[in-house]
Amino acid sequence: MNKSVEVSVDAMIEDLRTLVEVESPSRDLDALTASAKAVAAVIESRLGGRAVLVESEAGPHVHWSAGGDPQVLILGHHDTVFPLGTLERRPFRVEDGHATGPGVFDMLGGLVQAVHGVATLDDRSGVEILVTADEEVGSRSSRALLEERALACGAVLVLEGAADGGALKTGRKGCGTFRVSIAGRASHAGLEPAAGVNALVEASHQVLDIAALDRPDIGTTVTPTVASAGTLDNVVPAEATVIVDVRVESAGEQERIESAFAALAPHLDEAEVAVQGAVGRPPMPESASAELFAVAQRLLPGIEGKAVGGGSDGNFTAALGVPTLDGLGAVGGGAHADHEYLVVDAMAERANLVAGLVNAIRNSPAG
């Protein structure tokens, strides 16, 4: 990076421990309230001012603004995928250069690095930080707020964990979940099987139709992931359900997939098929990150960028046409897994990168 900024790794580790030790599983409102208060306290202690808790049905979001004309939004989330009690089994530790514990990589480490990066700036005007409570479960309650602040600021830095090798995330697939429900008719499997309408057989036809939508050659993956049907071994199943994970790289593929699910039709007489779901996070094209990624490369020569399959709130901001750079958070790996870890030696460099990007955005002609 062109200029080193003094940050304290020990202080970052202290704040990371504080956040990790307040467990924050999505949808647990009491836990998320405690977590939001902890996030707000860390922000206020390092940056001053007031971090506001924005109440929602999904739990409190945390919003901090330095004041002045908004110019850059630092975006993250404090909810995690781990249930209460994970901390007891997997407590926060720092050993052999790695910090471990639930949420260190996705994405509490990134939040801490961002706060400490901004703290090095003498002038913080124009900077906003938004930490949402429901990113891991679709951002339904936070989407309007994060889109509003992204449009107001005009540039977004997303503090999700880095891609493999510490690369920034320059593009993301759109992603969504579809639920296909099949209604048939029950009957005795031995006495009169033909009197029933077998929802499991219909579900099998639907799975094959759905799987045929897959186009990995152009970045579209359509993956049936969960299926359920039947009640007893001597009853023709009257109901079945299929859950499908979808990832797409383009708006055109999003439209094709959504239209195809809407058009699913039963194969068996008298069976009924109903579909719920959509590609909830639109694709984040690499064009959305190109300008900010070029700045990051000047600040940290040699840093790489990768397009990835997972989604984040950066998908929403990029879809608005707001320049968005993702993967600026922790270097590490194991998101959503027991081996989740953060590389301690990379923390200062990433905090410096955030600070450098903030300054570059504010000093640009459009800033």
Which amino acids are annotated catalytic?
79, 135
Please state whether beta strands 72-77 and 156-158 pair in parallel, antiparallel, or not at all (unpaired).
parallel
b/e map 138-162, b = 16+ CB within 10 Å: bbebbbebbbebbeebbbbbbbbbb
The letter for the amino acid at 228 is S
Contact predicate 255/211, CB 8 Å: no
The secondary structure of 45-69 as a DSSP string is HHH-S-EEEE--TT--EEEEE--SS
What is the sign of the dihedral through the CA atoms of 343, 37, 315 and 125? negative
Distance, in Å, from the CA atom of 312 to the CA atom of 33, rounded to the nearest integer, reads: 22
CA distances from 262 to 104, 228, 255, 259, 274 (A): 39, 21, 11, 5, 8
What is the sign of the dihedral through the CA atoms of 180, 183, 188 and 189? negative
To the nearest 10 degrees (0 to 180), the angle between helices 9-20 and 109-119 is 140
Asked if omega into 284 is within 30° of 0 (cis), the reply is no
Supply 163's token pair: 């891609």
Distance, in Å, from the CA atom of 273 to the CA atom of 275, rounded to the nearest integer, reads: 7
Please state whether beta strands 324-325 and 156-158 pair in parallel, antiparallel, or not at all (unpaired).
parallel
